Amino acid sequence: MSLLQRKDVRGNGAGGPGAQRAVGERSAGAAGRAAPSAPPDPELVERPQRRRFTAEYKLAVLREADGLSRPGEIGALLRREGLYSSHLSTWRGQREEGVLEALSRPRGRKPAGSPRRGECRAAAAPYAQRVGA
């Protein structure tokens, strides 16, 4: 008999006397008070936001980690900052590729006097003449 055949159907998580909602309040019987006027939608599950680290923060953590030499110091740093060792590995690779320095520059359009804009206009001029614009 396979594991699936031996599984108790009543305990499959589909409901029952001990089932609870994934989001919102518990049922009125479990909470000891009246049910809310509009129960939460069981299809919508709240997810925590993914953490985002700035390039400056990554570089600061890497500088601090590179300065540590005694056993256990890096582990203490990771626990204090709430990070994993894989973060350090990924960030070191990004630092070697120059990604972190590129991320520290401001995003958006270049200033109007940028030499790059002139290059773009010069490259687009022959196309505009062919199209007849």
pLDDT single digits (tens) 91-122: 999 998 888 777 666 767 766 666 666 677 77
Q: How does the average pLDDT of the chain come out, rounded?
A: 73
Residue 70 is assigned to a structural domain of this protein = yes
Q: Which residue has the tokens 């960030």?
A: 91
Task: Give yes or no for a contact between 72 and 36, defined as CB atoms under 8 angstroms apart.
Answer: no
Task: Say how far residue 85 (Cα) sits from the centre of its chain.
Answer: 16
pLDDT single digits (tens) 34-48: 555 777 667 777 788
Residue 19 is assigned to a structural domain of this protein = no
Residue 92 is assigned to a structural domain of this protein = yes
Residue 83 is assigned to a structural domain of this protein = yes
Q: What is the total count of domains within the chain?
A: 1
Residue 9 is assigned to a structural domain of this protein = no
Give the structural domain span for 67: 55-103
Residue 67 is assigned to a structural domain of this protein = yes
Structure tokens at 83: 């990070």
